Chain A
Amino acid sequence: MKILVMIKQVPDTATQVKIGPDGKAIDTAGITWIVSPYDEYALEEGLRIKEKRGQGEVVAVALGPDRVKEALRSCLAMGADRAIHLNDPAWERADTLMTARALAAAIKQEAPALALFGRQAIDDDMGAVGAAVAELLGWPCASWIMEESVDEAGKAIRVGRQVEGGLELFDLPLPAVVSAQKGLNEPRYPTLKGIMGAKKKEIKDVKAADLGLTAEAPALSVIKLETLPPRPPGRIIQGEAADAAKELVRALREDAKAI
């Protein structure tokens, strides 16, 4: 069974982000990059499916500039068999739709049984690419899954999708798209052997033309990035615990009108 896992390289959340000179993107100088955490859950699940079945192939796919190779390399170190890097200036301003079109075209070429995504990338938090890809491919899709099992024949997947107030268990015929929610698994750390082995694994560069795509105007574009408006300074309520509690409740009612 072939499994594709779509991953995105994002700034580490602890990194300072500064607005770049054009005011529309961040200044990438000095940023520490990581694989978006939800994508790690997706990759881990892909690896587990393969291990459980005792056969199959896990392919990591990412779209972005040269630096993204490093993220793909760490997926290979975790255990992915090979990687595909969608790397073309045509995708420089890729929005959700353009990204989804590129990934859908790559998935179509590879024809896997399962396309795994993270629930959202933690840079722009749009959380729409997985479902958009499913729509473009005409595949069923379950978002925010907390558990899954693939049937023995490799023809269907049962997933638990997190919804308000509960978990909905669905059967999806394969091929299908699913997106990983935290709680699905605990991603492994790459072993030293994995890291060494990753150097020999293939990362294939794919251009837009290879997928029959050309540059297009984004459907949704950034006008500008802004820093947060400053929050008014807070107030530390001093005094004995009993007095402080009393004063806090008073302030919440009378000053903040929050209760």
Chain B
Amino acid sequence: MAGSFWCLVEDDRQGNPKKVMAEVLGEAGRLASQAGGQAEAVWLTDKATEAGIKQLGEWGAKRVLLLENPAFAPYRGEVWAPVLAELCLKESPQAFFGAVTARQREAMARLAARLGAGLSADSTALALEDGTLVATRPVYAGKLLSKMTWAKMPWLATLRPNVFKPADSQQGAVAPVEKPAVTLPAAVMSLVERREDSSTGLPELAEAEIIVSGGRGLKGPENFAILESLAKAIGAAVGASRAAVDAGWRPHRFQIGQTGRTVSPKLYLGFGISGAIQHLAGMRTSKVICAINKDPEAPIFKIADYGIVGDLFEVAPLLEQEFKKLLEK
């Protein structure tokens, strides 16, 4: 339906939408209300829960298209893309948004190719200008912003987590659920096993509201314990610079930057990180940036909102104490 702003549901594989969906639905709802339409959720899953469906309604979905089938888990592009395309052709949504997650960035790219439509990946802002959607995306290591627009609908976009304002939860709002019939393509890929990352007990990097990050200044892998302890105290995830990763101090999945993860937390605390352009590319859209570095000339201070010039081994434990005092109040 023209006026439908669809959101592809990212879930925790236990039947609940992830927190990032509050942001995607929030943005879709905001744009839809300007366009005289509504936000709707499209959920491909092997199992949905009542609580999960309720959550989508409270985050502003006015309708949930629920496709529940074992074939949808694990995610396989050759199964998802044709189903999503079939739904789009049947219902002609005006826009279809996803979150920047492992499966959605791939599913949306396949869907775009199948529909012959444009996809703005990793968007950091969306706006309606004269009735047409305009996306903003960081390009060239985040040194420039590109404003982009689509030749036709549906406007496909993936949204960078933690950037868009989450929907205010409307207690008691209920979204009607529809279960459209679709043709299920045969899966070609088969899952052999899933290896879980060893749990750090800390939040997932891409979703964390606070990130504590360490670089070569940490001097060795054992010293990341200092940052982990600080992170535990404030509910943060721990990231690393490429120098720390390439030295083998942290696994690749913790690398932040152009050749690592892109993060956008509310608060980013960098310890012993110089702030190379490639590192900034992965964390520049953080809301508040703090740097602790002993070199007053370190480039990270140029984009930091707050800085302490000093020895991280001295400052980090002191910060932990101060944060604890604050949070115990």
**Residues on A close to B: CB < 8 A?**
11, 13-14, 17, 19, 26, 37-38, 95-97, 100, 122-136, 138, 140-144, 146, 158, 160-173, 181-183, 217-228, 231-232, 234-237, 241-242, 244-246, 248-249, 251-253, 256, 258-259
Contacts and interface: CB of A to CB of B under 8 A. Distances in A.
Contact of B78 (A97, A140, A217, A256): A140
Contacts, number: 259
B35 interface: no
Contact of B144 (A26, A140, A173, A219): A26
B188 A173 contact: yes
A251 B310 CA distance: 18
B77 A140 contact: yes
Contacts of A132: 109-110, 112-113
Contact of A146 (B74, B77, B252): B252
Interface stretch (B24-32, B48-56, B88-96, B259-267): B259-267
A143 B102 contact: yes
Nearest to B290: A248
A171 B81 contact: no
B101 A164 contact: yes
B128 to A, nearest CB: 13
B135 to A, nearest CB: 8
B322 A125 contact: no
A166 B195 CA distance: 6
Given A171-B192, A172-B188, A223 B134 contact: yes
Interface of B: 74, 76-78, 81, 101-103, 105-106, 108-114, 116-122, 134, 137-152, 188-197, 204, 206, 210, 234, 252-253, 255, 258-260, 266-267, 277-278, 281, 284, 287-290, 296, 301-311, 314-315, 318-319, 321-323, 325-327
Nearest to A131: B109
Q: Which 4 A-B pairs have the closest CB atoms?
A: A220-B118, A183-B252, A128-B109, A219-B118
A182 B326 contact: no
Given A127-B121, A158-B192, 17 more contacts: A11-B140, A17-B140, A96-B119, A126-B122, A126-B137, A127-B109, A128-B121, A131-B110, A140-B77, A141-B78, A143-B102, A165-B197, A220-B149, A220-B151, A223-B147, A246-B318, A252-B290
A34 to B, nearest CB: 12
Contacts of A17: 140, 143-144
B149 A223 contact: yes
A170 B76 CA distance: 10
Nearest to B149: A223
B315 A219 contact: no
A223 B132 CA distance: 12
Q: Which of A130, A144, A259 has the most CB of B within 10 A?
A: A259
A38 B301 CA distance: 29
Q: Which of B188, B193, B196, B252 has the most CB of A within 10 A?
A: B188
